[in-house]
Amino acid sequence: MIVSASYRTDIPAFYAAWFANRFRAGYAKVVNPYGRQVSTVPLRTGVDGFVFWTRNAAPFRPALELVRAAGIPFVVSYTVTDYPRALETSVVPAERAVADMRGLAAEYGSRAVVWRYDPIVCSTLTPPDCHRANFARLAAALEGAVDEVVISFAAIYKKTARNMDVAARAHGFTWGDAPADDKRSLAGELAGLAAARGMRLSLCSQPEYAADGTSPAVCVDARRLEDVAAGWGVPRGLRAKVKGNRAGCLCHESRDIGEYDTCPHGCAYCYAVNSRGLAKTRYAEHDPEGEFLFPPPWVVAAEKTLL
């Protein structure tokens, strides 16, 4: 089994102590975001590998050492876009993130780190020329440290549109969606910039924007985890099946241990946060000793009843 931690929130940046505690315990409890059922996810026995999603892995270094010491391979899927603060309120500076990525690659191998330049947001703050310049500069800084960059164009859900509108009013910019042909053209240009730096560019769940030089992304990738394990001298075969989370997703099957509305980064375009205020409140109330990242209300009520 592959464990994802997490595309619902940034566990490495904000919940490193909780993950380390749960890893030592060997399990975490997780609430299904749709049916609200509670399940127990193993974190040691039966785990073939981890995929960690983050914008700041620096606080997570001790947890990565625990996982490495257990001989379980991992991949850090590291997002660096370097957008203006109006869109990314509190992410770490790109220079710090790049330095951290290079350090991770040096310690754990280049196959253990994947750069994500996503989502690509269409706005007056981030026009195509901005993306070309941003991407080229970051690719140059990461040359030799990573072999793949994953891109996607922002998916605009109702909550995303609402949060983008709030940011646009506050900071005086406009935003929208670009025509499909423009997205394909930009994807092809970015693929060329990536190739010049020794990187493969892959598209996450958006085959409609494929262009020359792009390939489909496998963000939860059993084959990459096998390569990481082999590089560590602990080779293992993963019998994971492809089980995507949405149309066009080619990820291998995994269990996610995150919780929506718990990431306080404050990115206006984030699909995983309905309300930044709620995310900040939940982060403040988080218990690093708890079994859940953030327990459901009925569990909290039951615990209070027992006191």
pLDDT digits (tens, 9 = 90+) for 195-206: 999 999 999 999
pLDDT confidence bin for 302, thresholds 50/70/90: very low
Q: φ, ψ for residue 172 (rounded to 5)?
A: 70, 45
Tell me which of 18-27, 232-241, 251-260, 287-296 is least confident. 232-241
In this prediction, residue 307 carries a pLDDT of: 46
What is the rounded distance in angstroms from the CA atom of residue 95 to the CA atom of residue 93? Answer: 5
Claim: this prediction has a pTM higher than 0.85 = yes
Mean pLDDT for 274-294 is 94
Q: What is the pLDDT of residues 46-64, one digit of tens each?
A: 999 999 999 999 999 999 9
**Cβ atoms within 10 Å of 93's Cβ, excluding its own:** 10
In this prediction, residue 237 carries a pLDDT of: 81
Average pLDDT taken over every residue of the chain: 94
Q: What is the pLDDT of residues 88-133, one digit of tens each?
A: 999 999 999 999 999 999 999 999 999 999 999 999 999 999 999 9
Tokens, residue 69: 């010491």
Q: What percent of the chain has pLDDT over 90?
A: 87
> Residue 299 pLDDT > 90, yes or no?
no
What is the rounded distance in angstroms from the CA atom of residue 67 to the CA atom of residue 47? Answer: 11
Q: What percent of the chain has pLDDT over 70?
A: 97
Nearest to 143 by CA among 91, 217, 195, 94: 195
Nearest to 292 by CA among 7, 11, 2, 1: 11
What is the rounded distance in angstroms from the CA atom of residue 259 to the CA atom of residue 242? Answer: 23
pLDDT confidence bin for 306, thresholds 50/70/90: very low
Strand, helix or coil at 234?
coil
> Residue 186 pLDDT > 90, yes or no?
yes
